[in-house]
Amino acid sequence: MRQTFHEEGKYWVSPYNFVPEVRETLDLPEKVEIHDATLRDGEQTPGVVFSVDDKIRIATKMDEIGVDRIEAGMPAVSPQDAEAIKEISKLGLKSKIYTFARAMKTDIDMALECGADGVIIEVPIGYPKLVTQFG
């Protein structure tokens, strides 16, 4: 039987990933954790806006399929985003819920008020941005 590394329209994996010389050099972890940013980063796609109910429904489905960490949004973006994160955090999902914040006290305070399991803090490191934004 010939081994296939793809299913049309679903996935493709390079057969080189399964070459013994490649596999023997890999130090793979026992478990891979999935961190999904759809509810924040996906909503930055032009024309995409999730309602609070949309975000709750998507987070629930992510939890059902075993996503370990859900980046639920950025509360500083809007009151609706903050509300969605608060509601998702109350659901008691197995997935850990994270918020996203700029490295600003107001953003971090808003993120903490949402009751999520953690906060991802965005810190700019590019020299032009550091100079113009932070002096």
Domain ranges of the chain: 33-134
- Residue 53, H or E segment: helix 52-64
Provide the pLDDT confidence category of residue 67 given band limits of 50, 70 and 90.
very high
Provide the pLDDT confidence category of residue 1 given band limits of 50, 70 and 90.
very low
Task: Please report the pLDDT score of residue 95 as a whole number.
Answer: 98
Residue 5 pLDDT > 80, yes or no? no
| 37-46 contacts, C-beta under 8 A, 24 or more apart | 37/71, 38/62, 38/71, 39/70, 39/71, 39/72, 39/73, 39/84, 40/71, 40/72, 40/73, 40/74, 40/100, 41/71, 43/73
- Comparison of pLDDT for 126 and 49, the residue scoring more: 49
Predicted structure pTM score = 0.76
Q: What CATH superfamily is the domain 33-134?
A: Aldolase class I (3.20.20.70)
Q: What is the mean pLDDT of residues 77-92?
A: 97
Contact 68, 33 (CB under 8 A): yes
